[in-house]
Amino acid sequence: MELQTRHIEPASAPEIDHDSPQQPPQQAEPPEQHSTAHSHLKLICAGFSFFYAGTNDGTTGPLLPYMLERYSISTGLVTVIYVANFAGWFLSALTNTHLTTTLRHSLGATLLLGAGLQLVSQLLRFWNPPFGLFVVTFFFTSLGQAYQDSYSNTFVATVPGAHRWLGFIHAMYMLGCLTGPFLATPIASNSRWYYTYAVEAGLGVLNLAFVFAAFGRDILGSRKRRRAEARDAETQDAATQMTERTVTETGIAPSRNKQAFQEIQQTVKLRAVWLVSLFFFFFLGTVITASGWVVEYLVRVRGGSLKTMGYVSTGYNGGGFLGRLLLAEPTHRYGERRMVFLYAVTCLALQTMFWRIPNIIGDAVIFSFLGFFAGPFFPAGVSVATKLCPPANRNTALGLIFVLGQAGGSLFPTITGLVAAHAGVKVLQPILVGLFVLVCASWWIIPKVEKERDS
């Protein structure tokens, strides 16, 4: 999911030692050319992590009819996978600040944890597990995505030209969503549908290796710093040694717990955090509902073929990929608040057309344009949130914003499934029109920020 975390203090040097998203920059790596190349490797790694998350999320819609058939469940019961997704993001919000303080010397360790959790979930899926375990895998996937996406967003938001790189990594997510149906639909049509997750497991191995290659030095460096801290502690008095020994053995010092709770308390008092969260709540609820149920809608209501309708969702994802690449610069140049509101109104008009025009080909084209104009929503929202949140609270704020966004991404598809179980899938369209109205309204009430220019 886009979690993702979906983060802007322009850096004054090409390379920053991102030991912790909340710590000041350490010493730059020499030589400069190698440092710049390593910085680019980290950015590409962040992009691949979003691509991998997108391939996972992009398979859910095309595979949904097969899940219903395989487990003999209703559209209402299958929505528990969205609840499991939310549970993963919710746990990440509770633990994000503690990870930041406990692993304060290693951004890479947190990214590695996120990549590992996603790989575990795919390994549990591809052998046709029982429904209960299958649902649990969505929890592990979303928890891993939450850690990796949130901290990748934080890292990317600190580099020069951050708005372009945010556009890039979120475009990679849409590219993954575009790729997902091309993986899932032919595999499900010609073989066993759950073999799709074997391919996802292979991508998960690459994601894990990529993180270690790009951030491995951060991980190893953090271990050296922790050993140095332990040696320094040995020179202190007995009482201090006992405290430091507790830190070494448990990994969590009372002072760090206190710091974490203080950061959470400060963050929840920020009005801007709640207003941005409201936008992500409705936005993610809208797009996840649309992409998750569009195939079922086109098959049941418009009479499309299941083997071909799975590709329709690729139109939205392809449009989103181009939108995040091509609209990043005009959105930044003419103002994120103004342009995203214009895009949202356009999406509302397109969604109304999709509802009222009963033509599958026309629907596919409209769905593609819908993705194009909705594409900049997530990176622009991340950019605005980063500008509105104080640097000291940025990680905690973004974690809260993303979990509330995922709450919408879990709640509205679930409500749609429950209503569809009684009234039919035709209710999807009026629900989506109403959600786009709420997207427009929630973006409009976000506070204005001064336009920041890159140094």
CB 50 within 8 A of CB 172: yes
Cα(306)–Cα(295) distance, integer angstroms? 8
Note the Cα 306 to chain centre separation in Å. Answer: 28
380 belongs to a structural domain: yes
Domain-located, residue 454:
no
Q: Determine contact, residues 61/293, Cβ cutoff 8 Å.
A: yes
Q: Is residue 224 part of a domain?
A: yes
* Selection from 380, 382, 369, 384 nearest residue 328 by Cα: 380
Distance in angstroms (rounded) separating the CA atoms of residues 328 and 165: 9
40-70 pLDDT per residue, tens? 889 999 999 999 999 998 888 789 889 999 9
- Asked if the bond preceding 186 is cis, omega within 30° of 0, the reply is no
pLDDT tens over the chain, length 455 residues: 554 433 333 333 333 333 333 333 444 444 444 457 778 889 999 999 999 999 998 888 789 889 999 999 887 788 899 889 889 988 887 887 777 666 555 677 888 999 999 999 999 998 899 999 999 999 999 999 988 887 888 788 778 888 788 889 989 998 998 888 888 988 998 889 999 999 999 999 999 999 998 887 776 655 555 555 555 555 555 545 555 555 455 444 455 666 667 777 788 888 889 999 999 999 999 998 988 788 889 988 888 887 778 678 778 888 999 999 999 889 988 989 899 999 999 999 999 999 998 888 899 999 999 999 999 999 899 889 888 888 777 777 887 888 888 888 878 988 888 888 888 888 999 999 999 999 999 999 998 876 543 43
Task: Identify whether 449 is part of a domain.
Answer: no
* pLDDT (0 to 100) of residue 351: 95
Which pLDDT value is given to residue 402? Answer: 83
CATH number, domain with residue 407: 1.20.1250.20
Q: Mind listing the pLDDT tens digit for each residue in 344-354? A: 999 999 999 99
251: number of Cβ within 10 Å: 12
- Residue 181 sits at the vertex; the CA angle it makes with 176 and 183, to the nearest 5 degrees, is 85
Report the C-alpha gap between 170 and 384 in whole angstroms.
Answer: 15
Structure confidence at residue 32 (pLDDT): 44
Q: Which residue has the tokens 């969590």?
A: 252
Cα–Cα distance for residue pair 170/149, rounded to 1 Å? 10
16-29 burial by CB neighbour count: b if 16+ within 10 A, else e? Answer: bbbbbbbeeeeeeb
Distance CA 336, CA 329 (A): 10
State how far the Cα of 88 lies from the Cα of 83, in Å rounded to an integer. Answer: 9
**Domain range spanning residue 277?**
32-444
d(CA 13, CA 343): 34
As a whole number of angstroms, the distance between CA 208 and CA 119 comes to 8
pLDDT at 390: 83
Of 448, 277, 441, the residue nearest 348 (C-alpha):
441
Contacts of 186 (CB under 8 A, 6+ apart): none
337 located within any domain? yes
Task: State how far the alpha carbon of 306 is from the alpha carbons of 48, 193, 288, 420, in Å.
Answer: 30, 13, 20, 18
- Asked, for residue 229, whether it belongs to a domain, the answer is yes
Helix (H, G, I), strand (E, B) or coil at 452: coil
Residue 160 is classified by DSSP as: T
- Identify residue 248 by its one-letter amino acid code: T
**Number of structural domains the chain divides into:** 1
Residue from 143, 405, 393 nearest 268 by CA: 393
- The per-residue DSSP string of 95-143 comes to HHHHHHHHTTT-HHHHHHHHHHHHHHHHHHHTT---HHHHHHHHHHHHH
Q: Which of 114, 139, 115, 134 is nearest to 124 (CA)?
A: 134
Would you say residue 1 lies in a domain?
A: no
d(CA 329, CA 380): 11
User: Is residue 326 one of the residues assigned to a domain?
Assistant: yes
Q: In this structure, are residues 200 and 77 in contact, taking their beta carbons and an 8 Å threshold?
A: no
Both tokens assigned to 435: 């959600």
Total Cβ atoms within 10 A of residue 189: 14
pLDDT of residue 254: 55
Model pLDDT, residue 257:
63
